[in-house]
Amino acid sequence: MSVIEVSKLTKYYGKARGIEDVSFSEEEGEIFGFIGPNGAGKSTTIRLLLSLIHPTSGSAKVFGKDVVTHGPEIRRDIGYLPSEVYYYEGMKVVDLLKYSASFYNGDCTQRMHELSETMELEMNRRISDLSYGNKKKVGIVQGLLHSPKLLFLDEPTSGLDPLMQRKFFNLIREENARGVTVFFSSHILGEVQRLCTRVGIIREGSIVEISDIRTLQKNNYKKVHVTAEGLTRASFDLPGVTNVQVENRSVNFFFKGDINAVLQKISGIPVADVTIEEPTLEEIFMHYYE
């Protein structure tokens, strides 16, 4: 079952492009990565799905319901961590979280305290006394305290130190294991690679690729590193070879195509070392932007 269905979703701010003809779906229980640089349209897409802004054209459904006509109803079962968090500076953390919990049915007290303990959040401090990273922790607890079915994370780890980032990822994996569907937007590609099974790449407001991460890596080029005597730039002059670099006795290059062609070349050379690797998500991503 699709939790999110987006069809030709378009948003213009006057004449300025937000997103254009964006289409994708996310299945129940999935962690879907949405990647692109700042300004690509990631936050605009999330705000449209939350019905915080309305589309210029196209449509989106969450839980099978249109986001424009059923916005308030849909948002009861959604958790949202925006990329930037702003709060009433004079409030204590505990009062802010209780205020947030009051918008939902049911008692969120136990869950609120469990999450605060996990994220090492000091409940009696004032918002004005918190660092940016600690305010982000408040946002994480606030987004999860009502046990949502769907979680939107927009650049969630900015401001968190590496140890807290690890705790956060573990927390998201636990939520997902309980059945929570996660929409994870980021420009930090290593995060997406660690957490997500499927990814959409957005560039200048348009989707350029949707694929599971494994397929994305396999269908892209391979990184090849060969060490041998007398290698030159022409040693691997084959169709599909790009980005050739020669250093001392080594040749590094990217290859897309039938890897047997490269292996045949290598078999005719007395090599000292060979490595053939899949590219990182970062390298794949740069490939779409070059």
pLDDT reported for residue 290: 64
Q: Which helix (H) or strand (E) covers residue 255, if one does?
A: strand 250-255
Domain with CATH 3.30.70.100 in the chain: 220-289
pLDDT for 289: 67
For 118, what's the count of Cα atoms within 13 Å in the CB-facing half-sphere?
22
pLDDT score recorded for residue 283:
77
Q: Which residues, at least 6 apart from 19, have a Cβ–Cβ distance to it below 8 Å? A: 9, 10, 11, 41, 44, 45, 48, 202, 205, 206
Q: What is the mean pLDDT of residues 67-83?
A: 94
Q: What pLDDT is attached to residue 222?
A: 87
Q: pLDDT tens-digit profile of 16-25?
A: 999 999 999 9
Helix (H, G, I), strand (E, B) or coil at 113: helix
Which tokens hold the place of 174?
């636990």
pTM above 0.95, yes or no: no
Q: What is the DSSP string of 43-83?
A: HHHHHHHTTSS--SEEEEEETTEETTTSHHHHHTTEEEE-S
Q: Give the integer Cα–Cα distance in Å for 51 and 72.
A: 8
Question: Distance between alpha carbon 207 and the CA centroid of its chain, in Å?
Answer: 14
Q: What is the C-alpha to C-alpha distance for residues 269 and 157, in angstroms, rounded to an integer?
A: 47
Separation in Å, CA 31 to CA 85, 132, 169, 241, 251: 23, 26, 12, 34, 38
pLDDT digits (tens, 9 = 90+) for 155-174: 998 889 999 999 999 999 99
| Of the ranges 53-67, 206-220, 239-253, the best mean pLDDT one | 53-67
Distance CA 79, CA 226 (A): 49
Residue range 22-29: mean pLDDT, rounded: 97
Where on the phi/psi map is residue 59: left (φ > 0), alpha (ψ -120 to 50), or beta?
A: beta
Residue 237 tokens read as 């002059």
**The pLDDT value given to residue 231:** 87
Q: Where in the chain is the domain with CATH 3.40.50.300?
A: 2-217
Grade residue 279 by pLDDT with cuts at 50, 70 and 90: confident
Helix (H) or strand (E) holding 128: none
Q: Residue 82: how many CB atoms within 10 A of its CB?
A: 19
How many other C-beta atoms are found inside a 10 Å radius of the C-beta of residue 3?
A: 21
What kind of fold does domain 220-289 have according to CATH? Alpha-Beta Plaits (3.30.70)
Report the range of poorest mean pLDDT among 12-26, 70-84, 164-178, 230-244. 230-244
pLDDT value, residue 257? 85
Q: Which helix (H) or strand (E) holds 151?
A: strand 150-154
Rounded mean pLDDT, 100-122: 93
Q: Answer whether residue 117 shows pLDDT above 70.
A: yes
What digits encode the pLDDT tens for the residues 40-57?
999 999 999 999 999 999
Q: Rounded to 10 degrees, what is the CA torsion of 162, 165, 170, 171?
A: 150
Reading across the β-sheet that carries 16-27, which strands appear in turn? 16-27, 2-13, 57-62, 65-66
Choosing among 3.40.50.300, 3.40.50.1100, 2.60.40.1180, 3.90.1150.10, the CATH entry for 2-217 is 3.40.50.300
Q: Residue 205 is inside which H or E element, if any?
A: none
